[in-house]
Amino acid sequence: AFVVTENCILCKYTDCVAVCPVDCFYEGPNFLVIHPDECIDCGLCEPECPAKAIFSEDDLPDDQLEFVQLNAELAEIWPNITEYKAAPADAADWDGKAGKLQYLKR
């Protein structure tokens, strides 16, 4: 499956949602996740993310490995999102900032 990683937090651009053929994104207050059992590995979302936050599980950077479990866990409790929506007004300010996991809201 593909995995949404830390740089999505507080950016949440949602361009990924617009291209997913199986609607397997789930939305929290400031982060999105992919349901690993629903993702068909088409790869369409990865190049769409302006924050470069999406990776194939096989290509995950070492410091993002915990996001495999986070995507699986949060996809079970957050609502499905199927349409693009405007990003937070300060999304660009957060893009690329380190240590955003501490700001994840559930």
Binding residues for ligand SF4, total number by CB under 6 A? 13
Q: Does 40 bind ligand SF4 (CB under 6 A)?
A: yes
Return the number of other C-beta atoms located less than 10 Å from residue 106's C-beta.
Answer: 11
* Nearest partner of 52 among 16, 21, 84, judged by Cα: 16
Residue whose entry in the numeric block shows the structure tokens 């699986």? 72
Stretch that binds ligand F3S, among 14-22, 56-64, 66-74, 97-105 (CB under 6 A): 14-22
Strand extents, DSSP E, 37-89: 54-56, 80-81
CB of 13 to ligand SF4, least distance (A): 14
CB of 46 to ligand F3S, least distance (A): 9
Instruction: Compute the distance between CA of residue 39 and CA of residue 1 in angstroms, rounded to an integer.
Output: 6
Site residues (CB under 6 A) for ligand SF4? 2, 19-20, 22, 24, 34, 39-45
Site residues (CB under 6 A) for ligand F3S? 4, 8, 11-16, 32, 48-49, 51, 53-54
